[in-house]
Amino acid sequence: MGENKHINELDAFAKKHIQEIEAEKPSVDFTNAIMKSILTEQAIQKISYEPLISKKVWFVIIAAVVSLFFIPIKAGKRSQEFLDKIDLSIDTNLEIPNLFESLSFDVSNSFSYAILLCAVMIIVQIVVLKNYFQNRMN
Amino acid sequence: MTINNDQQYIDRVLKGDTNAYAFLVDSYKDMIYSMVLKMTNNREEAEEISQDTFIKGFQNLDKFKGESKFSTWLYKIAYRTCLDAIKKNKKHNNTYEINDITMNQIQSVETILQGIERQDRSRMMKECLNKLPSEERSLLWLFYFDELTLKEIIEVTNLSEANVKVKLHRARKRLLTVVKENVEPELINHYGRK
């Protein structure tokens, strides 16, 4: 009985004085900060990268390649006869003149190093520019 | 805000109206921030954890089934996030020894408190509460300030009923000890003036 009264008294004490404490308030732009963060995250999720060649196109390509291999086999003899009729001697008959025959290149070492350096710089620039534009878009 | 109102806004958010979530944030930000501040005792950290709580709430809103109040569900997220942050920081409170409390002590402390102006008393109580261990501080806050029921506190903290009751009792006793030690100089002044 005495213990209960003691607990009740302590309970009343805590209740009275804790309820008197003023509630704390967060900063003024608290809600804005949360909404901004949520909306940004949503926007990031919306940007989904699609492959250049979609699955549908890949399927068509594979189907085309497979059919190129299998249709002639199935067609059998008829395809063989058809191929025999085609004149494939064009490559052997064709005479392509060598345009560079009269030209002779005498390149110094330093010139070839300069060309090599230019090539390296262009390759590096491609990577740097790609990253730069990607960051700007993000 | 009523439970029905909460549910309306929750439904709107789930249907894609993200901005409706701002109403829920506005409704519960003070409650969540106050509780988190009681646990962490650090304004910057409390602000960060409170924001984190609301963001987690948004991300998991589809998991809220309405079995409890939305506020209780948010408190639960906030409580867990706070515990993780406290574990990371490993801050220790200076704990006060709990002395045996007598009825006379409660009454004399009460008399002294009544002699202090309301604003000063509120400030002093806040300081005293901040001297308690974070778990006791947050339990007292949830039970007395936010007036959560024992059942709701059990849901938020994941503690057993007996455990919550024991911890609450210990917290009340420790609070009185802290207040008594803080008002004693006032008591001396009080009698000194007479």
Q: Could you please report the per-residue DSSP string of B124-158? A: HHHHHHHTS-HHHHHHHIIIIIS---HHHHHHHH-
What tens digit of pLDDT does each residue of B126-167 get?
Answer: 888 888 888 899 999 999 999 999 999 999 999 999 999 999
Higher pLDDT, A42 or A3: A42
Contacts of A38 in chain B (CB under 8 A): 18, 21, 55, 58
Q: Specify the pLDDT at position A97.
A: 67
Tell me, yes or no, if A34 comes closer than 8 A to chain B by beta carbon: yes
Residues B125, A17: C-beta atoms closer than 8 Å:
yes
Task: Give me the mean pLDDT over the A40-45 stretch.
Answer: 81
**Residues of B (59-88) whose Cβ lies below 8 Å from A:** none
Structural domain that includes position A71 = 52-87
Q: What is the pTM assigned to this prediction?
A: 0.64
Predicted confidence (pLDDT) at residue B94 exceeds the cutoff of 70: no
State residue B194's pLDDT score.
47
CATH of domain B3-89: 1.10.1740.10
HEC assignment per residue over B59-96: HCHHHCCCCCCHHHHHHHHHHHHHHHHHHHHCCCCCCC
Predicted confidence at residue B77, as pLDDT, reads: 94
Q: What pLDDT, on the 0 to 100 scale, is given for residue A109?
A: 84
Average per-residue pLDDT in chain B? 85
Q: Could you state, in order of their start, the residue ranges of all structural domains in chain B? A: 3-89, 103-193
Collect all residues of chain A within an 8 Å Cβ-Cβ radius of residue B121.
Answer: 17, 20
pLDDT (0 to 100) of residue B96: 64
**pLDDT digit string, tens, across residues B51-93:** 999 999 999 999 988 888 899 999 999 999 998 888 877 655 5
Q: How many Cβ pairs within 8 Å bridge chains A and B?
A: 99
Number of independent structural domains in chain A: 2
CB of B28 within 8 Å of a chain A CB? The answer is no
- Does A5 contact B at CB distance below 8 Å? yes
Please check whether residue A19 lies inside any domain of the structure.
no
The answer to whether residue A12 sits within a structural domain is no
**Residue A24's closest chain B neighbor by CA?**
B34
pLDDT at B97: 66
Q: Is residue A127 part of a domain?
A: yes
Closest CA relative to residue B49, chosen from A106, A24, A108, A105: A24
- Please give the Cα distance from A114 to A110 (Å, whole number): 6
Q: Note the CATH number of domain B103-193.
A: 1.10.10.10
**What does the pLDDT average to over B39-54?**
91
What share of chain B in percent tops pLDDT 70?
86
pLDDT in tens, A85-137: 766 666 666 666 666 666 666 778 888 899 999 999 999 999 899 888 888 77
pLDDT of residue A91: 60
Question: Mean pLDDT for chain A?
Answer: 79
In a domain, A116, yes or no: yes
A41-59 mean pLDDT = 78
A35–B22 CB contact, under 8 Å: yes
CA dist B49 and B12 (Å) reads: 25
Nearest CA in chain A to B47: A26
The reported pLDDT for the residue numbered B25 is: 93
Q: Please compute the mean of the pLDDT values over residues A40-54 and round it to a whole number.
A: 76
